[in-house]
Structure 1
Amino acid sequence: MTEFILDVELHSEDENARLSAAIDSFVSLHDSDVRSDAFDLDLMVRTVFGPGGERLKQIIFQQHELADAFSTFWVAFRGLN
């Protein structure tokens, strides 16, 4: 199965907490969508280190559309505050 991976660089613990909140909000919004199947949102989050030692979160989706939707959602969520 194809995986779609978003790499998110985190600059602080606060940003790590905001990413977790964004994922929770995105899942809640997706679950509240009456058109969606409760089991069609598969995602996994893992921590990795980039070539320069920077900490990254990788968010792995099974559907390209959901990866794109979360990427857009994260940009908007990150911009709040």
Structure 2
Amino acid sequence: MVSIRELLNKLRWDPSSSLSDYMIVITHRGSVNGFKSIPGSLIKELGKHFFTYEEDGKLVVIPYHRVKEVKNLRLGVTVFKRG
């Protein structure tokens, strides 16, 4: 099984794909349903244990273990889903 970090790196650097075609769904305690969707185009850095994205002018750090799903918006398919 490919790790979420490996998948996001592939989507970012593979010339045949683009992170902007994807939506990353994370666990988010502050939301009504417990999840938040982050457009792949907002991702700034893919670290060893986390990724960062920009929201309202601030850099937000998300540990990979909070990623629940990665969806390809262009094709309408889920490419990663955590139990």
Q: Work out whether the TM-score is over 0.5.
A: no
**TM-score bin (small chain):** 0.3 to 0.5
Higher relative contact order (CA 8 A, sep 6+): 1
Q: TM-score, normalising length from structure 1? A: 0.35
Q: Radius of gyration: which is bigger?
A: 1
Structure with the larger strand share:
2
The structure where helix makes up a greater share of residues is: 1
